[in-house]
Amino acid sequence: MGQKAIEQHYSENAETAKKSNQYFGEQEIDVMLQLAQGVTAAMTSQFMVKYKNPETKERVLVDIGLNIKSWAKKQHVPGFVRFAVNQDRLAANEADSFAKRDYNRAGRHVRAHWQYSYALVEILREYKQKFPEVFEAALEARKKD
């Protein structure tokens, strides 16, 4: 009986370890969490929302994004997001098809892009469950852009 418990422990931890080393592109996360295209990008960076305070009648500006990456500064929070620019770190949805005659390279061309860890996917899932209105606001903001 003790051996089965040990085997089960290693089996469960192996799955967790595998997931912890896995990274996903924005489109994959949008599909996994049933988000509209671009919402993951908005929620993982700076996302400003303004509203009118009902008591003071003043406009208030609040950042509700996770701020784990900055494209302009090429900064990110290690362990949650990484900036991938080479074929070895390619997520499933981060390639362009270029014709060999146009770009002097065959096959898939890798765009520089952000990839997100499984841990971040879980944080986004929890954020969405607790505050669905935030994700709705992100969607509305993306529609206006």
Quick: pLDDT tens for 131-140: 999 888 888 8
* Amino acid letter, 102: D
Alpha helices in the chain (DSSP H): 2-20, 26-32, 39-43, 100-103, 118-130, 132-144
Does residue 129 have a pLDDT over 70? yes
Mean pLDDT of 29-44: 90
- Among 15-24, 28-37, 78-87, 106-115, name the most confident range: 28-37
pLDDT higher than 90, residue 126: yes
Task: Please check whether residue 96 is in contact with residue 109, taking contact to mean a CB–CB distance below 8 angstroms.
Answer: yes
Residue 130 or residue 91, greater confidence: 130
Mean pLDDT of 105-122: 76
Residue range 64-83: average pLDDT?
A: 86
Listed by start position, the domains of the chain span 24-144
Angle, CA of 88, 121 and 50, to the nearest 5°: 120
Short-list 113, 110, 137, CA closest to 35? 137
**Joined tokens for residue 40:** 């993951």
